[in-house]
Amino acid sequence: MSSEISCVGCGARVPDVQAPGHRYIGCSPGCWALFGEVLAREYSDFRYARVHGLTVDAYAVQHPGEPSAHAIASVGLHLQRLHWVLELGYDGVRATRVMQRAAERKRELTWLEPPAERGSMTVVDVQRATTPEEHVERVRAWAAEVWQAWSVHHETVRHWARLVEEAAHR
């Protein structure tokens, strides 16, 4: 039986493993490994894949890392995508397309101080899903909870998103 630690990003109890982590996403290696398992499930079965974008968004925003150009862009872009999907009802394809346009403006983003509490649901909850339906339900709940955790920054994120949309209509 392996020991567990609290992930430095989300606080979930994850395996204490010695493995590479991610260079700017602030997570413990065991949490990163669980995220990899979830991604493998999504890549291998279309029934899971329909929420893949939300999975990546929730994970990235729940593990913001430390201020750096990559971390600033990651958090800012994934928060915008959560806004487009959860608040404006964009489907995954449309949200990804507009996020790609937003990436062209990533140098305009600024560091948003992460909330102390980033949601009680984590990748662990998603990894434990036993059916595609349960997986989809958990990812959607996780994404909504993480988005709500960042509510202090919603107006900033909405502003960034409006700039992207306005630029697209010029």
How many separate domains does the chain show? 1
pLDDT digits (tens, 9 = 90+) for 28-50: 999 999 999 999 999 999 999 99
pLDDT digits (tens, 9 = 90+) for 51-66: 999 999 999 999 999 9
Give me 22's structure tokens: 């991610």
Structural domain for 52, as ranges: 4-168
Q: Please give the model's pTM, rounded to 2 decimal places.
A: 0.95
- C-alpha distances out from residue 70 to 1, 2, 12, 76, 162, Å: 36, 32, 23, 10, 22
